[in-house]
Structure 1
Amino acid sequence: MAAVLLLSSCTGSSSQNAASQTKNNAEDKTKTIKVGSTSAVVSGLDPAVDWNGWYTVRYGIAETLFRLDDSLNPVPWLASSYKNIDENTWEIKIKDNVVFSNGEKMTAQKVIDSLKRAGDMNSRAASLKDCEYTAGSDGKTITIKTKEPYVALINDLCDPYSAVIDTAAGKDFEKSPIGTGPFVISEFNENTKAVMKKNDKYWDGEVKADSIEYINVADFDTLALSINSGELDVAQDLSPESAQTLKNNTDINLNMTTQSRTYQLYFNLETMKDKAVREAVMYALDKETIDNVQLNGCVLPANGAFLENSSYGGKNLKLRKYDLSKAKELLKDAGYTDTDNDGIVEKDGKPLKIKFCIYKRLAMENMAVEMQSDLKKAGIDADVTVYEKSTFYKSGDFDIGLYSIVTMPTGDAYPFLRDCMQTDGVANFGKYYNKEVQEDLEKLSKEFNKEERSAIVDRIQQAASDDAAFDYMGFNKMYTAVSKDVEGYLTTSNDYYQVTKDTYKK
């Protein structure tokens, strides 16, 4: 490479140098903000598909009727207000000055068309399916009547799957959805790069940045090197080790944000039927040491699925704490002993070996190494298998597995608990079933009293823990490096508000 560069500098014509300089000047003039991470770009941008809406909102392409504030409470965004008419009926007023990036006015009917589409296509948008929608004659009133009483509807309208797009504008929703955000998709290469240009028709004022570019980067070390060299303006989701290499760079602000994203431990109840073994796993894991020492404090130890300072913090939960002696005692009482002194216990001549599956996400691989070590101390041989993505869960081919998930993406506990613990939940990978939990989930969907909702959430979590069906290793602390030339880039606990009209490069 050095030889090629030297040759170029010696033989390059003045016209080539001038062209290069012109290009650099053009890039400086446009002030493109380049954002990189190991998962900056996915396969599509249709907000109604899977989790793709997170990226549509992150990129500033689309917006939702409501958004979460810093305390994870829903506040109006494209909506101006709402009223709860009765247990089944909600009236929402939308702002009168909103236009899509193609210049079309956002009307009540266009919002309804977008929400109905999300309800039909996304299994997580169950609350939007089978509703009665009515557009008011004024063009800015929406009435939604749910099939059953459902208290968290406004929270669900904060979820990026409900991002409002102009469904009549075209069919290529995967690569170029038309939203109301400050940016418009300009180029999209799946799993590689997404380029957005400013939306000159943005309804909420002048957009300060000319363009935003999101880029997938191969690994954490490359990510750190790229922002250290100035190739990137923002490096999102750095590992603690790569973040440390940037701490002396005075041109960078290094931020750490505790997220509502937890490392959830699933037990496959179809392959790990012995509750004693599941309990032993839970007692054997020293979360405090793993999170605070081995992972350099990049994970906040968890006491349940929700952050303690949230409405569902679970301070009264009585969960298992690290106790290696208890883990060994449980295994011994269940008939597991180490007869050949190899450090792994056996039963009926078979060593206790479990398939521990993870995928490449944030601190998961480093965490799995430490968990494997802790389990070995208890006499459990955890064979770690690493996948590229979390899709392996659908096959059920695991004994235990880690899942990185935001537990309060809408500010309410119900959607997460429903998806993970309801019999037909889209993320009930461990095939968990408890009759009382199913009944409590039904109650939670209809209970409007906040104190009673918190009590139900605690009951559900306590039951699932008592059944040794789930555990929570901790909450991710997101490291983000931002060039001091960039202003207005957001880092939030729910992970999908990033660029706005006020994000710009000096």
Structure 2
Amino acid sequence: MKKILAVLLGTGFMTASLYGCHNSTAVGTAPKGQASDKKIIRVSESFALQTLDPHLDYQGWYTSIYGVTETLFHMNDQSTVTPLLAESASANGAVWSIRLNEKAFFSNGDPVTPDMVIRNLKEAGEINFRFSNFTKYTYAVVDKYTFTIDTGTIYPMLINDLASPELAIADLDHSGDKKTGLVATGPFVISSFEPGGTIEVARNEQYWNGKAKLDGAVFYYMPEAGTSFLAIQNGEIDTYTSVTSDAAEQYRKEPETYTLTTIPATRLQFYILNENRMNASLRKATNLTIDSKAIGAYLNGTVSETVGPFGPSASYGKVTKAKPDVKAAKALLEGDGYTINSDGYYEKDGKVLSIHLAYYAARSLDTLAALMQEQLKEVGIHVVLTCEEDPDGTYIATGDFDIGLFCMISDKAGDPYYFINCTLADGAPYNCGGFKNDQVQLMIKELETETDTNKRAQLANQVIQTAIDEDAFGYVALFNKITVTRNGVKGVAENNPFDFYFLSADTDMD
């Protein structure tokens, strides 16, 4: 097992010794001739932003990271929706009443109005298919600060949707086509934008929610993790996220220079057990064999083992699963009539117990596949691996697998419905392993319209617990959000599990 991981990790990560020593370039050096006494934080980003339009695709994630755009609601560090540009929201059946924060202004001094918010939501729905439902709603302005959204049917997840960074509120009258210019509400404004390259922001001097502590920030496009490592070692940047395990190990050795923050985030590694091809005993034996804790250890801090699809701090993340038990797994297989052959594999009627594990190579699933193959081999199950480029167009669509690996964001915006509906509802795209449970379907239907937060959590926990107990899925690990900062840098959303936050008015540096 360790030898396999040494090869896998050796090809995926550069070791710290390759990068050399760092120099003593001062933190916060200003770009392009700006005064050196200004507080300018320098950051590396692995994504090349091509347009500033926050409503298009996932662009809003990055304008949010830059501290330029804001939404009506915000996800806090505990994955709870909190008001931001909105002051409050309440529902009466399918009609939501939303009151805006009276202090909210755009960076040009114009107020955020109900009419402008409605225009933003409609535009986002028109150009971003993931929010196309916003083109179907009925909107009405009530007064200077209040408007309503009629969703047609009861939809309790609306404020969670409104916290999505793609639904940022911009001044559509003064942002042009939003490709290279953007007037929004955040604590920073774009001062220089190079599509596919460096982006600079400066303090929004008219920020409605308090003066930003920084004068500005520079985001450099660095797609390779090794480049970011070298840049921070050389004093050319001050912070970045998505730190590799090798780099993290080096930072831990230099506590006098760096602060490393690691928290479980929202992107989940999981597998689907195909009930159409595996009986209950084999599925349970598989789940009793896969050791998430060992996998997390071998992946060296880049993931955190998980029991269910949601973080344990969430009210809807309170589920349990049996601990790995190889002896119990073997007993289940032997109870089905399997015996160990001379090669160490179980067989019955002269046929080796062999299962087909399908995966794709992104998000460390190639490493996970190799680890699972090795763990199942140790218990006596032969595993054949198949790597596909497009899982949605192959094994997810066809069901041609015994175990199917997948990775997706499980907690999209502080509510469990999205993931549950995608993976456990009848006919859902990732319920492709034959899971059927009438009681679960009734609970999912109830979850769709339940407005009480505590009841929603209770329903979600019941649904996920059933999927675990019936060995329909195996939830392995949540990717960690790993942030490194030079000592003295603080407030870069390092404790927030969502990837789309970084700069805020509270971001600071000594």
How far, CA to CA, are the matches of 1:431 and 1:164 in structure 2? 42
Write the distance in 2 (CA, Å) between the matches of 1:451 and 1:90. Answer: 20
Change (3 A) 1:472 1:299: same
Q: 2: CA distance between counterparts of 1:50 and 1:277?
A: 41
Q: Which residue of the partner structure matches residue 410 of structure 1? A: 413
* Sequence identity percentage: 28
Secondary structure at the counterpart of residue 395 of structure 2: coil
1:415 alignment partner, SS class: helix
Tell me if the contact between 1:233 and 1:486 (Cα under 8 Å) persists in the aligned partners: yes
- TM-score scaled to structure 2, two decimals? 0.79
Bigger shift: 210-219 or 146-155?
210-219
Distance in structure 2 (CA, Å) of the matches to 1:385 and 1:209 = 46
Name the counterpart of 1:5: none
- AA in 1 matched with 2:456: R
> What's the offset of the Cα at 1:462?
2.4
Deviation string, structure 1 residues 395-416 (Cα, Å, up to 9, x no partner): 1336445444443342222233
How far residue 489 of structure 1 moved from its aligned partner, in angstroms, is 2.0
Bigger CA drift: 106-115 or 268-277? 268-277
Query: What corresponds to 1:308 in structure 2?
Result: 312
Q: Write the letter of the residue equivalent to 2:455.
A: E
Secondary structure of the residue aligned to 1:28 is: coil
Matches within 5 A, 1:41-52: 41=48, 46-52=53-59
Match of 2:211 among 206, 211, 214: 206
1:372 maps to which residue?
373
Offset of residue 482 of structure 1: 0.5
Matched ranges for 1:256-267 at <5 A:
256-267=261-272
Helix, strand or coil: the match of 1:442? helix
* Letter paired with 2:257: I
**CA–CA distance in 1 between the matches of 2:156 and 2:180?**
34
Q: Look up the match of 1:71.
A: 78
Deviation, 1:103, is 4.9
CA distance in 1, matches of 2:433, 2:486: 42
- Give, in angstroms, the shift of residue 417 of structure 1: 1.8
User: Where in structure 2 are the equivalents of 1:45-64 lying within 5 Å?
Assistant: 46-64=53-71
d(CA) in 2 for partners of 1:88, 1:256: 41
Q: How many angstroms does 1:193 deviate by?
A: 4.7
CA 1:473–1:198 in structure 2 vs 1: closer, same or farther (change >3 Å)? same
- TM-score by length of structure 1 reads 0.80
Aligned residue among 104, 114, 126 for 2:120: 114
Q: Which residue of 2 aligns with 1:7?
A: none
- Partners of 2:142 and 2:232 lie apart in 1 by 50
Question: Please, which of 145, 151, 158 is the counterpart of residue 153 of structure 1?
Answer: 158
The alpha-carbon deviation at position 299 of structure 1 amounts to 3.5
**SS of the residue aligned with 2:374?**
helix
Q: What are the Cα deviations for residues 267-312 of structure 1, in whole angstroms up to 9, with x where unaligned?
A: 2749856555544432221112222x43445543322122223211
1:7-64 CA-partner distances (Å, limit 9, x unpaired):
xxxxxxxxxxxxxx99775473565422225x44466654434444322312212111
Give the Cα separation in 1 of the matches to 2:348 and 2:34.
68
Other structure's SS at 1:55 match: helix
Which among 498, 502, 505 is matched to residue 501 of structure 1?
A: 505
- 2:61 is paired with a residue of what secondary structure? helix
Does the 8 A contact of 1:267 with 1:278 survive in 2? no
Instruction: State the SS of the aligned residue for 1:472.
Output: strand
Unaligned 5+ residue runs, structure 1? 1-20
Contact 2:263 2:482 in 1 (8 A): no
Q: How big is each residue's C-alpha offset from its partner over 1:363-393, in whole Å with a ceiling of 9 and x where there is no partner?
A: 6555444333212223232526486xxxx33
Alignment pair present for 1:35 and 2:39: no
CA contact (8 A) 1:394 1:429 kept: no
Aligned 8 A contact 1:40 1:214 in 2: no
Query: Do the aligned residues in 2 keep the contact of 1:355 with 1:382 (CA within 8 Å)?
Result: yes
Residue of structure 1 equivalent to 2:13? none
> Counterpart of 1:396?
394
Secondary structure in 1 aligned to 2:36?
helix
Describe the superposition over 1:71-125 as per-residue Cα deviations: whole angstroms up to 9, x where unpaired. 33222110122333x2222211112343334554321011111122334454544
Deviation larger for 489-498 or 26-35 = 26-35
Unpaired runs of at least 5, structure 2? 1-28
Structure 1 pair 489–450 and aligned structure 2 pair: CA distance change class (3 A): closer
**Partner deviation per Cα, 1:464-488 (whole Å, 9 max, x = no partner):** 2344332211333332110125343
Distance in 1 separating the partners of 2:246 and 2:235: 19
Q: Which amino acid aligns with 1:255?
A: L
Cα contact 2:275–2:472 (8 A) shared by 1: no
8 A Cα contact 1:285 1:375, kept in partner: yes
Q: CA offset at residue 136 of structure 1?
A: 2.0
Q: Could you say if the C-alpha distance between residues 45 and 336 of structure 1 is closer, same or farther in structure 2, counting changes exceeding 3 Å? A: farther
| 1:241 and 2:243 matched | no
Pairs within 5 Å for 1:266-345: 266-267=271-272, 269=274, 277-291=282-296, 293-296=297-300, 298-315=302-319, 317=320, 319-330=321-332, 341=343, 343=345
In structure 1, give the amino acid aligned to 2:324.
Y
Matched residue SS, 1:202: coil
Match of 1:310, SS? coil
> Following the alignment from structure 1 to structure 2, what is the Cα–Cα distance between the partners of residues 34 and 168?
31
Tell me, in whole angstroms, the C-alpha distance in 1 between the residues paired with 2:199 and 2:429.
28
- Output one character per residue of 1:438-458: Cα deviation in whole Å (capped at 9) or x when no partner: 332220122233443233112
Mean Cα displacement is larger for which, 486-495 or 227-236?
486-495
User: How many residues are aligned here?
Assistant: 474
For 2:173 and 2:433, locate their aligned partners in 1 and report how far apart those are by CA, in whole Å. Answer: 40
Cα shift at 1:434 = 4.5
